[in-house]
Structure 1
């Protein structure tokens, strides 16, 4: 077959000589001859070559660093980096009603959140909600004992506010709280000096105000949300509009490619070691209050 094709090519060249004065036709014939000779030598044609992501010789035994599908470890890493991460958090609980309603939504959508507790709200019934959240994989964090403005307290009072809630959380979960959200996000250097965990703020929706509807709360969060954000909502008793807003916020962010993680996981997945004298709304950015 190869010899016949070469003979045909030589014949075509001879015919080409007679076509002088038609450059475009000459170039066209040359292109066809080149293709025929190439096909004869390789035994393939453009139409018969199947498209494949595999390199020749790797179909049966993947090369080091590749998966069975032919994707490389680098490609897998790049794909994971495209995932956006966000942490959903709740303040002002716990209680036996709204906190459990929030947990119902977390279970519905298969996600976790972080709960920042007020120590004085912890009782036998609300403690059950805390344990339920913890068992789901949620994180339990600290929002003080009395929700007082920390900047108006003495150093001893600041410590007592944090330690009371930390001890209550430990009694329920066996773990100490890992982050502190100062009430009203009100801090100064004395507060930093007396609480030995990182400080967290967050993007919010004014959801402590009854006049802000569930729809508006959802819109506010969705408008602000970006990779690395911490969402600040409230599970205070009776705050049903925030519970309702979760049915928009969670699935919409999931549709946009966000994965919900705890605050600890958010810092870890982004490779951030939190600064102890900053207040974080996004783990990739920090807002300095002092």
Structure 2
């Protein structure tokens, strides 16, 4: 399918964004300068991208959406590729970006973001209908992809990472809770996605595409991802420091669509998002099979926001706009500080299910059990799962029984 480039109004906004960000002041702008998060010219990428994938392969497929648990394909070893190092001149920020205050006279910019997360014992989905909506309407967006998700969905990850409309960012390796994970396990969660991204770039570079080689795609992609989103909307002070030390800017959200809630209707989602957004907002959706009403709600959300004069940009572009001031919180949360602490129990439950899955299926070659991994809570798992999964906007649904499907 032909790639839809930004609208005339969106392109006008992007012309205001500097091509080189080294002159931007403040920690976030210095970090963005070093990371070079603004996208390269879209024309060359689009031409090469269409050469590497058949046009029909971009569209929604019924095989993409289902989430499969307990299958052999969910056993993915932590990649060993050496990612590109943090860039020189990067300055970590002391906290987590939630939204951006725009200067007077700035366009009504907004960043739509989509999480592509995947836990250790599952192969998550891909909501092509939502991505199709973004492409058809020329909507710029940022995808926070889990490292394991990238490796179980290499073509979809490649299509997103090379699309001139989109920005790809890190959402940890396999969705651990950074409020309680520590030590080597935490570092693996940070490093793993960068290594997966490096494998993705290397694979594209080696791909034989006609009439242009895949190396055109790899060369046009950023050397590394520059933004990071904490799973569960939860983190510790040590986690914030570790993410910064890895050359990443942590970004959460100020508006959650609530799309992991199976009982939320598309009409309710549209109303909730439109009521709470404002210029500079960062909006959270999911596109991994757990955005239950997102496919239906997104077309109306996009249309209504455009009618209200909003311009869609990536998170990197929002942060880089001249005079913009990121709103930085000292901790991670959904709506109010501390409101995601209650998901510690869910994380322990998921770790327990992961250990059970590993025991049933074995460990893939080259994998290793993460040191310092959190042990599961020993009691009340079913009741705990039911209670903690009721409302959380950024967590995967609790896994059911884990039957092992044979290849």
Interval of TM-score (by shorter of Structure 1 and Structure 2): 0.5 to 0.7
- The 2-side partners of 1:280 and 1:109 are apart by 32
1:255 and 2:307 are equivalent in the alignment: yes
Mapped to 2, the partners of 1:163 and 1:256 lie a distance apart of 40
Flag the 1:96–1:107 CA change in 2: closer, same or farther, 3 A.
Answer: farther
Q: Secondary structure, in 3 states, of the residue corresponding to 1:161?
A: helix
> Secondary structure, in 3 states, of the residue corresponding to 2:228?
coil
CA distance in structure 1 between the partners assigned to 2:323 and 2:243 by the alignment: 23
Q: Report the aligned-residue RMSD.
A: 2.9
Q: Does 1:117 align with 2:169?
A: no
Distance (whole Å) between structure 2 residues aligned to residue 192 and residue 276 of structure 1: 12
Q: Is 1:161 the equivalent of 2:189?
A: yes
Judge conservation of contact 2:170–2:225 (CA < 8 Å) in 1: yes
Alignment of 1:235 with 2:262, yes or no, is: no
Q: Does 1:224 align with 2:276?
A: yes
Deviations 1:71-118 (A, max 9, x none): xxxxx9xxx935200000011348896342222111111111111112
Alignment of 1:94-243 (within 5 A): 98-123=126-151, 126-137=153-164, 138-173=166-201, 174-175=221-222, 176-196=224-244, 197-202=248-253, 203-237=255-289, 239-243=291-295
Shift of 1:168: 1.1
Query: In the TM superposition, what is the alpha-carbon distance from 1:255 to its structure 2 partner?
Result: 0.9
**Cα gap change, 1:169/1:81 in structure 2, threshold over 3 Å: closer, same or farther?**
farther
Q: Look up the match of 1:36.
A: none
Alignment match, 1:85: 109
Report the equivalent of 2:320: 268
Kept in 1: contact 2:144–2:168 (CA 8 A): yes
SS in 1 for 2:169: strand
Matched residue, 1:67: none
User: What residue in structure 2 maps to residue 69 of structure 1?
Assistant: none
TM-score (norm 1): 0.63
4+ runs deviating over 6 angstroms: none
CA offsets per residue over residues 216-249 of structure 1, 9 Å max, x none?
1111111111000000011122635201111111
CA gap 1:280/1:85 in 2 versus in 1, 3 angstroms: farther
Distance 1:277 1:229, change over 3 A: closer
CA contact (8 A) 2:233 2:332 kept: no
The structure carrying a bigger helix percent of its residues is 1
- Aligned partners of 1:273, 1:255: CA distance in 2, in Å? 25
In structure 2, do the counterparts of structure 1 residues 208 and 225 end up closer, same or farther at CA, with 3 Å as the change threshold?
Answer: same
Which whole-Å CA distance do the structure 2 matches of 1:166 and 1:134 have between them? 13
TM-score, structure 2 normalization? 0.46
Greater RCO, CA 8 A, separation 6+: 2
Name structure 2 gaps, 5 residues minimum.
Answer: 1-15, 17-103, 202-220, 339-407
Q: 1:257 to 1:183 in 2, by over 3 A?
A: same
